Amino acid sequence: MPSLDPALIPQYVSINQNDVEMLARMLLAFALGALLGFERERAGRPAGLRTFMMVTAGSAAFTLVSIYGFLDQGTVRDPARVAAQIVTGIGFLGAGTIWRTPSTVRGLTTAATIWFAAAVGMMVGSGLYLVATTSAVFGFICLQFLRSPARRASMRGEPSITGQAREE
């Protein structure tokens, strides 16, 4: 296999340790988003694997840009502003998955999981790898194994959600 001639690489392309770490953060964000999205995809929900991967990676990317994107440019940086906007924007995305009918509300878990996926992405983007990974694993466990009690509760009905009282 021929080696790459360094003269062919433009001078402005350089990869340093920070770049490698940021790429690793993005890959981890995609992987954790896939973990959450896999369960939603398998359950046949409106937001699935690709959506969750993009939400998690997008949140990580915005977080990385807010932390590192404006270094040494003489600007005032406030990564918390971007974090607040991620939370707000993802809230609107999640709201689009909620459907209310006269007898039930559907999509709340998907909406909450989209919001949670954004938080996981923000954790990865800010370097909180262990917290992000643990959170995503617990989120997956919650989605995968706590479904049966939730279904039993929905079968009994809850007037605050369904909008109608059930006669017993």
Cα 86 to Cα 105: distance, rounded to the nearest angstrom: 25
DSSP string, 87-144: HHHHHHHHHTT-EE-SS-EE-HHHHHHHHHHHHHHHHHHTT-HHHHHHHHHHHHHHHH
pLDDT digits (tens, 9 = 90+) for 75-134: 667 777 888 888 888 888 777 778 888 878 778 888 889 999 999 999 999 999 999 999
Between 162 and 3, name the one with better pLDDT: 3
pLDDT at 72 (0 to 100):
74
Q: How many CB atoms lie within 10 A of CB 61?
A: 18
**What confidence category does residue 34 fall into, taking pLDDT thresholds of 50, 70 and 90?**
very high
Contact (Cβ atoms closer than 8 angstroms) between residue 26 and residue 53 = no
Whether the predicted pLDDT of 4 surpasses 80: no
Helix (H, G, I), strand (E, B) or coil at 147: helix
Q: Where are the domains of the chain?
A: 15-156
Amino acid in the structure at residue 122: M
Apex CA 69: angle with CA 65 and CA 74, to 5°? 140
pLDDT at 7 (0 to 100):
63
Whether the predicted pLDDT of 39 surpasses 60: yes
- 72's torsion region: left (phi>0), alpha (psi -120 to 50) or beta? left
- Name beta bridge partners: 100: 105
Whether the predicted pLDDT of 23 surpasses 80: yes
Q: What phi and psi values does residue 42 have, to the nearest 5 degrees?
A: -65, -35
Whether the predicted pLDDT of 10 surpasses 70: no
Q: What is the pTM of this model?
A: 0.75
Contact (Cβ atoms closer than 8 angstroms) between residue 122 and residue 59 = yes
pLDDT digits (tens, 9 = 90+) for 130-159: 999 999 999 999 888 886 555 555 555 444
